[in-house]
Amino acid sequence: MDYHEIEASLLSGFLRDRHLFTIALNEGFHADLMATPTAKRLVKALFDLYGRSAAVDEVAVRAYLDDHGLLSPEMERYLTAIVARTPPNAGQVVGYLDLLKARESRELLAKVYDDLGAFLHKGGDRPQDIVQVTSDAVGRLMEIQKRRIRKQVSPVSTTFGELMEFAERSDPIRQLGFSIRPFDRLNEVLSGLRRGFYYGLAGAPRRGKTNFALELATYVANNHRVPVLYYTWEQTRRVLGARLMARETGLNPTWILSGADPEGRNIAPKLREAQQRISRYAPFLYVVEAGRQHSLDRIRAHAYNLMQEFETSDVVIFFDYLQKIPLSEYVDDQRARTDFISTALSEMSLELNCPIFAISPLDKEGCRLDERPADEAEEFNVYNRPTMHHSMGSGDLEYDLDVAMVMAKDWKATHDLYTLLESKARSEGIDPALMPKVDIINLFVDKNRDAPETAAYIVQYAFFVTLNKFLEVDYKLEKEYRPDFHAFAKTQEIYNYLREGGYIPTREVAPKA
């Protein structure tokens, strides 16, 4: 392995891109990682220039070196070669730093080995000699550990200072994470999608997990204009793109995929209008058709590259779904495999300081709990439902997660709304077949680390099955599970909300003559 090439590539990036230099510092970069005196001197010059917030380019670096008497012929040749190189991307920078830190650790370890060998061959047996040699060896071993830590470690007093700075701001932060409005209730429950938090969403098939996660991804991209990565092992980009356009147009995604409605009418004008609305967030949303090659290391590099491209330290990553993420080594046991992936995602959320959102399917028992009761007189209660424990292959998943959410169909509320829709249609002379198919979905926030105070921990959604669209309708309170609760008033409120929003067809009035 040519470490001189790696060093030159890193310096080429540092010279051109301040963001790459910042990433390297966050990853524990220091001048002693460089092997040659020339490279070390150039790194120290960059440290000084960036520390002054000065403009950094070839001219500035050359002038700095000349002013400090460091622009020797050797440095001239080295700097010219550095400038001529193609700079690396952010993912490559992180990989190169790992290689340099591994080399440094081996060299330090070899020095410990040589010193111990020299002492043993010397034949020293005085107690004070042994104490000194072992103390030196332990000190160097601790130094190796410290330098191999990916992130720089700072005392807790730094954190106290940051908290005081936030408290003294004239514009205090109202929520801790990225806004997911218009899901206002969930936004309040979660305080947004928070940096360094690991989110899990479980649910049975046909409950809209993918569509729900995709909506969250679009809201973050639209509200904050930060890069959002959505990895899918389940659907193609084309299918998910059709679902996004269906949300905006009210057209069935299958019509969009086929290019026309069932009557053969042209849908292009509606799609053009939708494309204009989607253009607000589309440049920030990356839907990736993932495969076996998309390991977590590759995904991490992709995230770093996007942060470099957008010149930001923010990124949000979605996985659809967790159990499909490939591992570098084959793990036969499903439970162990899920635990391994989950732990890695938790670590990645902390390393990148970003929200990570992973979908998980339910096992057979969890799906059974989400089915319609065999006895129509039997009602679901707040406890008789699937939990994160019913995720496929779940072991320590619920312990790794910072926020655990589970989707379950509210069969009674769905039945009541369907009955009301049919009744209203008939009374207004509308064909009941034109009424949309709507499932009422309860989203249970079962675990919410450092949770803010909220009205409830269950948020209720209307899921338009054919449009793949969610509308947040209300909280669901525990009192609603009691037998004496009168649900008609709430069902009427949901109906009015959907009608006022234009999601329910009304009888057409003939135009005046």
Over residues 274-316, the pLDDT tens digits come to: 888 899 999 999 999 998 889 998 899 899 989 888 988 899 9
Residue 179 maps to a domain: no
pLDDT in tens, 82-131: 999 999 998 899 889 889 888 888 888 888 888 888 887 776 556 557 77
Residue 513: how many other CB atoms lie within 10 Å: 3
Residue 442's pLDDT is 95
In this structure, the answer to whether residues 389 and 247 fall within a common structural domain is yes
Residue 419's pLDDT is 92
Residue 192 maps to a domain: yes
- CA-nearest of 218, 349, 328 to 278 is 218
Q: Which are the contacts of 428, defined by CB distance < 8 A and separation ≥ 6?
A: 506, 507
- CA-nearest of 426, 442, 446 to 434 is 426
Per the model's pLDDT, the better-predicted residue between 157 and 117 turns out to be 117
Residue 225 maps to a domain: yes
Residue 108: how many other CB atoms lie within 10 Å: 16
In this structure, the answer to whether residues 371 and 273 fall within a common structural domain is yes
Strand partners, 404: 200, 447
Residue 171's pLDDT is 57
CATH number, domain of 274, equals 3.40.50.300
CATH number, domain of 76, equals 1.10.860.10
pLDDT in tens, 59-75: 888 888 988 889 899 99
Residue 507 maps to a domain: no
226 band by pLDDT with thresholds 50, 70 and 90: very high
511 band by pLDDT with thresholds 50, 70 and 90: very low
Residue 172 has pLDDT above 70, yes or no: no
- The C-alpha atoms of residue 487 and residue 459 are separated, in whole angstroms, by 16
Please provide the average confidence, as pLDDT, over all residues in the chain: 85
- Report the predicted TM-score, pTM, of the whole model to 2 decimal places: 0.79
513 band by pLDDT with thresholds 50, 70 and 90: very low
In this structure, the answer to whether residues 85 and 230 fall within a common structural domain is no
Last residue of a domain, one of 97, 125, 148: 148
Last residue of a domain, one of 95, 129, 148: 148
Per the model's pLDDT, the better-predicted residue between 173 and 138 turns out to be 138
In this structure, the answer to whether residues 115 and 188 fall within a common structural domain is no
Token pair of 432, please?
């009941």
pLDDT in tens, 254-271: 888 888 888 888 888 889
In this structure, the answer to whether residues 134 and 224 fall within a common structural domain is no
pLDDT in tens, 335-385: 888 888 999 999 999 989 999 999 999 989 889 888 876 555 455 566 678
Residue 207 has pLDDT above 80, yes or no: yes
Last residue of a domain, one of 148, 173, 207: 148
Residue 88 maps to a domain: yes
- What's the whole-number mean pLDDT along residues 218-222? 95
159 band by pLDDT with thresholds 50, 70 and 90: low
Residue 402's pLDDT is 95
Residue 417's pLDDT is 93
Strand partners, 403: 199, 448
- What's the whole-number mean pLDDT along residues 393-400? 79
Q: Which are the contacts of 351, defined by CB distance < 8 A and separation ≥ 6?
A: 150, 151, 300
In this structure, the answer to whether residues 396 and 313 fall within a common structural domain is yes
Tally of structural domains, the chain: 2
Residue 395 has pLDDT above 70, yes or no: no
In this structure, the answer to whether residues 403 and 310 fall within a common structural domain is yes
Side by side, which strands form the sheet with 228-232?
Answer: 285-289, 228-232, 316-320, 356-361, 198-203, 403-409, 438-448, 458-464, 469-475
Residue numbers of the domain that contains 238:
184-500
In this structure, the answer to whether residues 132 and 195 fall within a common structural domain is no
Token pair of 5, please?
């090439």
- The C-alpha atoms of residue 100 and residue 35 are separated, in whole angstroms, by 9
